[in-house]
Structures are given as structure tokens and as C-alpha cells.
Structure 1
Amino acid sequence: MDINTLIDIDRQLLLSVNGSESLFIDGLAKTLTTAGTWIPLYLSLFYIVLKNNDSIQKILLILGGAGLCVFLAGTLNDVFMKPFVMRWRPTHDDVIGQYVDVVNGYRGGKYGFFSSHAANTFSIAVFFALLTKSRILSITLFTWSFINCWTRLYLGVHFPGDILCGLCWGGIVGLSIGFIYFRVKKQLYSSNSYISSHYTKTGYQKSDVDIVLTVFMLTILYSILRACCYLYI
């Protein structure tokens, strides 16, 4: 199977999941893909880091790891990879661009390989999954990442191949930064293993972790209510 065949398959897959006749789903996808929608989730993650680490050095180490995830997964991609590969987004593609369902005129930038939404969110999800060793938080953050991936396909601003490569790169970045974090932490601080119904294996209070889940669910509820407004515009 040559590269042109793979590109054609990618195009057909995109058209099969892009858009719908529903104004509600249009509004939901547009709301969920907006970075500002997820600010409460970012703040809740910041909160559990502050609450469950007893020194500014530990907090800065974690924030530095999260920042590196965003930089390596998304920023470098936007600055170097997309301009280097120069693969058009579906909305600008000369073959299927006219068939892509566009929501409120949103087409994104010119180039889309690979998806920074997929890479950024998945790198953060993997990093915090390793950091907290919480199953419920891991499931929540992976769901958050996959929701963001779906919005990019629905809105027609990324091909499935862009999403898949973004997830792969984000996973590599998240795992790598997580590995480096634990190596550095082991050198600087003594490591404790927690066996308790109130704490995760790495010492995060489960009640604090539940706050992230609550914020996530409230954000989804807000997005649904916001999407309902599209029905009356």
C-alpha cells in the first residue's frame, strides 16, 4: 500500500466522521474544542499538585514537567513540524476541502500535521496518570484527550492520521517526561509508597483527585448547556 492510497483512505475516513445535520452537536464540538472551556480542569490539576506536595521545589518540578509536555508535544509541532511537513488541513485540502462540513466558518490554520490538540492533551493525560497513579484520574484525562480528538475530526480541521500521530507523539512525550520526573525526584527526595484507601500509590488524596473528576463532569455539563444555545441562535 503506497502513501497515496493511505492519504485517500485518510480523506475518506475524515469525511465519514466530519460534521452532521445537528446544530446541537455543532455547538458541542465547537465548545469542547475551545481551550478556554478547559481552564477549570487545568486549575483543578494545579490544585491537586499544590495540595499534595509539601514543598515549592516539588511543585515546581511537577509544573516544569507539565510545561515540558506542552512545549515538546504542541509548541515544537506548531513551530517546526507543521511548516516542515506542510500537509493541508481537510478544510484547505484541494481534493476534499469543498466537501468538508465547516462549523461557523471555522477552518483552522493552513497546515494540520500533526494535531497539537491530540499531542498536548494526551501528553498531559499520560504525565498525570503516571504522577498520581490514580485509575479514575487516568480514565478521566484520557477521556478528555479523546474528546478533544473527536472535536478536531468533527470540525474537519484534522485528518484521522493527524490525530493518530499526535496521540503517538503525545504518549511518547508524556512517558518520557514522566520517566525523567521520577528519576529526578528519586535523586532529590526519598520516595514513599502509600497503601491506603485514602491515598493513591504516590500519595495523592483520593478525595482531591475526585475534585478533578467533578470539574470534568461540570465542564461537560456546561458544554452541553452552551451547545443548547446554538439551537436558538
Structure 2
Amino acid sequence: MMQELLQFDTELFLKIHRGLSNGFFDWLMPLLRNRFFWSPLYLFIVIFCIKQYKKTGLYIIGGVLLTFALGDMISSRIIKPNVNRTRPCNEIRLADQIIHRVPCGSGKSFPSSHATNHFGIAVFLIGVFYRKWRPILPIGILWAASISFAQIYVGVHYPIDVFCGTLLGTSLGLLTTFIYHKIKPAQ
């Protein structure tokens, strides 16, 4: 059963990584997964929260940071070293099939920390702002999903790595949303 699942994962990875290959995605996907590309958005969130929500804004920023810290710690420091899955771009049996779109890195593959962190942050922000601004739901999910998909396309993660990172990040986003609503100051 596990062998069939891993085979399916590899086949799906190759269908995305090689099968969807095109010049536009080759340009866009490396950008989407680059943390500096999103820096203006992160800065906007910080400024918006402080300017619009004052003290509560600091709690929102704290919630984003807590979500990121928990996601990164659990995915990178606890799960990855214990699962020890090789990234597809470092997998010897896939060496002749990988298109090197970004540096591969030496880290492990399971789960995707990008998926964990971005889905965690998206779910947290959805949980905070959904009642006041409903478009945050599709925007947040699309944002996290596009970054997560880019991880597969550029060749640094398998689909199962991203799927499990999505589940972990969503769970952490729900947890930190719950914590935020319990401790935020009254408005």
C-alpha cells in the first residue's frame, strides 16, 4: 500500500513538474515561492493591522508570527528530520527527469514548510477577518495554494509533501485563530 502511494506521488509530481512545463510557469512559479516576492504584502499586513486596529492589530500580528513559528518548528525541526524524505530534485532515480528551475537545497521534503506556513497564515487571517471581509476566504486560499503548487512545479516537493503541509498549516491556523479569539482585547 505505501509503495503504491509513493509511486502515485512520484507520477503526479512528474505530471505537474514536467507535464505542465511552459515558459510562463517557468517565470511565475519561482517568483511565487520566493519569500522576498511577498515582502510588500507582509509589510502591508503589518501596517494595515497597526493603523486600522491599534492594540488589536498587534495581537493579529502576534497571531501571524505564532502561526509561522509553530508551523516552521513542527514541519522543519520535528517532522522533517524524523521522516527524512529526500526532495525530488535530489532524488537520484529522478535525476534525468528534473528540470532545475530553482536551487534544490539540502533540506528534507516532507512536509512542505512553505505549504504549512502559508496555509497556516492564510487560515489564521481568514479566521480573523472573514466576518468583516468575506473575499479574504478565496483570496487567502488561492494565495496559499499558488505558493504550495509552485513548490511542486519547481521540483522541490512531492504532492503528498504539499498536501500534508496544507493539512498541518490549516490545523495550526485554526488553533491560532481559536487562541486569538480567546485573548484579543475587546474592541
Give the TM-score normalised by the residue count of structure 1.
0.74
Deviations 1:141-179 (A, max 9, x none): 211111101111111110000000000000000000000
Offset at 1:64?
1.6
Aligned to 2:96: 98
1:124 and 2:121 correspond: yes
Q: Are the aligned partners of 2:63 and 2:180 in contact in 1 as well (CA < 8 Å)?
A: yes
Give 1:24-35 correspondences, 5 Å limit: 24-35=24-35
Q: CA deviation at 1:21?
A: 4.9
**Greater Cα offset, 45-54 or 137-146:** 45-54
Structure with the greater alpha carbon radius of gyration? 1
Quote the Cα distance in structure 2 between the aligned partners of 1:50 and 1:181. 16
Identity of aligned residues (%): 30
Is 1:48 the counterpart of 2:48 in the alignment?
yes
Task: Tell me the equivalent position of 2:105.
Answer: 108
* SS of alignment partner, residue 54 of structure 2: coil
From 185, 190, 197, give the equivalent of 2:186.
Answer: 190
1:88 to 79, 86, 89: 86
- Give the match for residue 37 of structure 1: 37
Q: After alignment, is 22-31 or 167-176 more displaced?
A: 22-31
CA contact (8 A) 2:109 2:161 kept: yes
Judge conservation of contact 1:91–1:98 (CA < 8 Å) in 2: no
**Partner Cα distance (1:93, 1:17) in 2:** 16
More displaced stretch, 106-115 vs 15-24? 15-24
Helix, strand or coil at the partner of 1:88:
coil
Write the distance in 2 (CA, Å) between the matches of 1:142 and 1:61.
Answer: 22
Q: Secondary structure at the match of 1:99?
A: coil
**Between Structure 1 and Structure 2, how many residues are aligned?**
184
- Match in the other structure for 2:150: 151
TM-score calculated relative to the size of structure 2: 0.91
SS at match of 1:73: helix
Aligned residue type for 2:91: D
> How many Å separate the matches in 1 of 2:150 and 2:51?
32
One-letter amino acid of the structure 1 residue matched with residue 23 of structure 2: L
Alpha-carbon offset, residue 135 of structure 1: 1.7
1:163-216 per-residue CA deviation (whole Å, 9 max, x = no partner) reads: 00000000000000000110112xxx336xxxxxxxxxxxxxxxxxxxxxxxxx
Question: Aligned ranges for residues 58-77 of structure 1 at < 5 Å?
Answer: 58-77=56-75
Per-residue displacement from partner, 1:76-125 (whole Å, max 9, x unpaired)?
32122212110011111233233122215x22334110001101111110
The answer to whether the Cα contact below 8 Å between 1:92 and 1:110 also exists between their aligned partners in 2 is: no
**How far apart, CA to CA, are the structure 2 residues paired with 1:161 and 1:142?**
18
> Structure 1: 5+ residue runs without aligned partners?
192-233
CA deviation after TM superposition for structure 1 residue 22, in Å: 2.9
